[in-house]
Amino acid sequence: MSNLFTRNRLIGFSFAVFIAAIDQLVKWYVIGPLNLRNVRNIELLPFFDLTYVENRGISLGMLQATNMEMGWLLVGMTALIGLVVLVWMMREKILGDILGLSLILGGAIGNIYDRYVFGYVIDYADLHVQVSGATFRPFLIFNIADAAITIGVVIILARSLFVREKDDETEAAEPQAENS
């Protein structure tokens, strides 16, 4: 059984590294070959553009890093959160939970790298809808790391609300069956 848990954690850690690498590869492509930093916007679909944004804050633009010290504070805070997620991931045994946490960890690594290297996070994915001539954005402009973090959080929440309850019910029923 211990080998299974070790295997699951290795899969999770590898997946986190993969997510961070894909995030950085796409960011390199949009600021390198696509030159999005200078072009600023590339229309791809009626509902999706590539739009260059330097995100100097955290989620929803909160805690803007207006100076170098604040920037390093954000690097430290996000690194601490990443460390907590890594420890949590190493304590989990079920692959579903580990994969949700690995999405969060991989996304955090991608964004921490940006903050460390550039002083801001590179965002580029611009999902929008035209309604009566007005543009509606259900999300702020984001990147793969942000999407991975969001999906990971949804997986963890869904599993904690729905899957664990079933596991608890199964465990509660097993001792009664053994006593019969």
User: Rg (Cα) of the chain, in Å, rounded?
Assistant: 20
DSSP 61: G
Tokens of 36: 């999005």
Q: Is 126 a catalytic residue?
A: no
Catalytic residue among 23, 114, 123, 126: 123
Residue spans of the domains in the chain: they are 2-173
Catalytic residue among 97, 146, 167, 168: 146
Q: Is 97 a catalytic residue?
A: no
3-state secondary structure of 134: strand
Report pLDDT for 70. Answer: 74
Chunked into runs of 10 residues, the chain (180 residues) has average pLDDT values of 80 95 97 94 90 80 66 81 89 91 95 90 90 80 93 92 60 52
